[in-house]
Chain A
Amino acid sequence: MANSVAITGAAETTKIGKVPDVSELELHCDAAINAMNDAGLKPADIDGVCAVGEYAGLVTLNLGISPTWVDGTMVGGCSFFFMLRHAAAAIAAGYCKTVLITHGESGRSRVGSMNWNPEPYSLYGQFELSYGMMDPPAMFTVPFLRYMKDYGISEEKLAMVPVVQREWAAKNPRAFARDPITVDDVLNSRMIAWPFRKLMCCLVTDGGAAVILTSADRAKDGAEKPVYLLGSGEAVETPLIGQLSDLKSPRAFYTAARNAFSSSGISHDEVDHLMLYDAFAHTPVWGLEATGFVEPGEACDFFAERHTAPGGKLPTNTSGGGLSYTHTGMYGMFALQESIRQLRGTAPAQVEGAKVSVCHGVGNMFEAGATLVLSNECG
């Protein structure tokens, strides 16, 4: 299945950041139309649709598409990587030929947005939300003190992650937060959930993005340079934070990343560019270790020593990421867009000659991990 599919269309919503005049469903559709224009396709050319947040059926209704294959796998912020992977299998199986995957979320303005409504009888509701664990800053952060203590990571060192990513955002005109920040700025920003300060938490924005996937053979006729899927992995562990088996290396993140590498045949020294989901300062710390670029406990040093920064040996989160570029809620689609831009050579902070990009996502806190290995060469 490797090399059998390629991304031929990719685009974000026309507006991003604060978009109070567009509803969530229209963000999906705006991104979809931009992606179809990018690929030189019309709704009649699409026969597969994937969406979460809004139901795929509503997206297809609004766009006038009548798909013969749909997927709505909901695992939070990396759902798009799961769906892209499932779409690759569906195309290979002959279920459909051209798949549109959409994201739209009015995370900041909450215009026409789907609300999260956990039930008090769910396992979450009985055993976790009941302890004041009401939103991601009070959920995703809880296991990380164990990592910090066992590996001797200081708050100053953790603060380097957002500092370095802001340097990338400064190069990106569409980034939400572009002003330079220092370690002191991070540590002096408002305390949210000790040891996490506000500048260690992602943005809350509005926006959307979409991609179009087709077989590698058909992709050659597209309007844009194809981006090939060389390998991928997905894994699920636990949506309950207290039931995480390894606090220092969440299993879903690790398993997805390792399977993506092994299925791609790509070695780490062939990777030119990396995107690591960054809902918080520590999320890419886990991601860098899960993907195997460093050994357990080494990631914070790798960030602090500027290896991921502009000019570093492994350019990472080059859009500014969820911490500085944009974070609508399910951020993964924006990480994927930046991987595609880098491989097309159109990123605002372009990595010269980038041929292979790895995109690693997480979802519903520790529930899911998914990783894509992408290239502008079909391998």
Chain B
Amino acid sequence: MVDLERWIPVPTPETKHYWDGAKAGKLLLQRCDDCGNVYFPPRSFCCKCCSRDIEIFEASGRGILLSYIISHRDVPGYTAPYSIAIVELEEGPRMISNIVGCGQVPEALVLDMPVEVTFLRLSDEIYLPQFRPAGA
């Protein structure tokens, strides 16, 4: 168990663009210009073909709820119950996130439901991408 007031990510040179994007309300992904692979988490090369010829682009922010749990234990920054989910983005990559803006109960968290990105301010610099039911 991590003992902290609240877990706040610290960017590295290779991930700074992602967190800068989140601060501006954009979910940024990367695409390989050689093989077309779209990937996450951020790195300076393609994780399929190792090409360094890559670009950053803004994702649609839409995805589906692939799997989740509802945690019933408080941790710093989270009051139970809260969901921890795997979201599959429209562009292909998957990421861990929270589903917010709806009841944290199985009836409201339906697998395969469409979700859209929203951003939670953690500090002046760090805004955390979370997801809510699409159109909510």
Which residues of A approach B to under 8 Å, CB–CB?
A: 116, 118-121, 123, 125-135, 137-138, 141-146, 149, 190-196, 240-244, 247
The answer to whether B10 has its CB under 8 Å from any CB of chain A is: yes
The interface centre, meaning the residue of B7, B8, B85, B94 with most chain A CB atoms within 10 A of its CB, is B7
Asked if residues B7 and A142 are in contact (CB atoms below 8 Å), the reply is no
Asked if residues B7 and A193 are in contact (CB atoms below 8 Å), the reply is no
B82 cross-chain contacts in A, Cβ below 8 A: 132
Asked if residues B12 and A121 are in contact (CB atoms below 8 Å), the reply is yes
Contact count band on B: 35 or more
The 11 listed contacts between A and B (C-beta, < 8 Å) are A116-B2, A125-B10, A126-B10, A130-B122, A131-B97, A134-B2, A137-B73, A138-B71, A141-B69, A143-B67, A194-B81
The answer to whether B44 has its CB under 8 Å from any CB of chain A is: no
Asked if residues B7 and A247 are in contact (CB atoms below 8 Å), the reply is no
Chain B 1-37: CB-based contact to A (< 8 A → 1; otherwise 0): 1100001111110010000000000000000000000
Q: A131 vs B128: C-alpha distance in the bound complex, in angstroms? A: 8
Q: A116 vs B1: C-alpha distance in the bound complex, in angstroms? A: 8
What are the 4 closest A-B residue pairs judged by CB atoms, nearest first?
A132-B78, A146-B67, A194-B70, A126-B9
Asked if residues B96 and A242 are in contact (CB atoms below 8 Å), the reply is yes
B74 nearest CB neighbor, chain A only: A132
The answer to whether B119 has its CB under 8 Å from any CB of chain A is: no
Partner of B111, one of A119, A130, A133, A146: A146
Q: A190 vs B72: C-alpha distance in the bound complex, in angstroms? A: 9
Known: A123-B41, A146-B111, A194-B106. A128 touches B96 (CB 8 A): yes
Partner of A125, one of B7, B95, B111: B7
B98 cross-chain contacts in A, Cβ below 8 A: 131-132
Partner of B72, one of A123, A191, A244: A191
Q: A194 vs B85: C-alpha distance in the bound complex, in angstroms? A: 12
Asked if residues B72 and A132 are in contact (CB atoms below 8 Å), the reply is no
The answer to whether B86 has its CB under 8 Å from any CB of chain A is: yes
A196 cross-chain contacts in B, Cβ below 8 A: 69
A149 nearest CB neighbor, chain B only: B111
Known: A125-B10, A145-B111. A247 touches B86 (CB 8 A): yes
Asked if residues B69 and A193 are in contact (CB atoms below 8 Å), the reply is yes
Asked if residues A194 and B72 are in contact (CB atoms below 8 Å), the reply is yes
Asked if residues A132 and B84 are in contact (CB atoms below 8 Å), the reply is yes
Asked if residues B70 and A129 are in contact (CB atoms below 8 Å), the reply is no
The answer to whether B59 has its CB under 8 Å from any CB of chain A is: no
Asked if residues A121 and B106 are in contact (CB atoms below 8 Å), the reply is no
Q: A190 vs B73: C-alpha distance in the bound complex, in angstroms? A: 11
Q: A191 vs B73: C-alpha distance in the bound complex, in angstroms? A: 9
Distance in angstroms from B79 CB to nearest chain A CB is: 10
Known: A125-B9, A126-B10, A194-B69. A132 touches B2 (CB 8 A): no
Asked if residues B69 and A142 are in contact (CB atoms below 8 Å), the reply is yes
Q: A145 vs B109: C-alpha distance in the bound complex, in angstroms? A: 11
Asked if residues A130 and B72 are in contact (CB atoms below 8 Å), the reply is no
Partner of A127, one of B1, B70, B81, B95: B95
Asked if residues A240 and B86 are in contact (CB atoms below 8 Å), the reply is no
The answer to whether B45 has its CB under 8 Å from any CB of chain A is: no
Partner of A132, one of B11, B71, B95, B122: B71
Asked if residues B9 and A130 are in contact (CB atoms below 8 Å), the reply is yes
Known: A126-B15, A129-B7, A145-B68. A242 touches B128 (CB 8 A): no
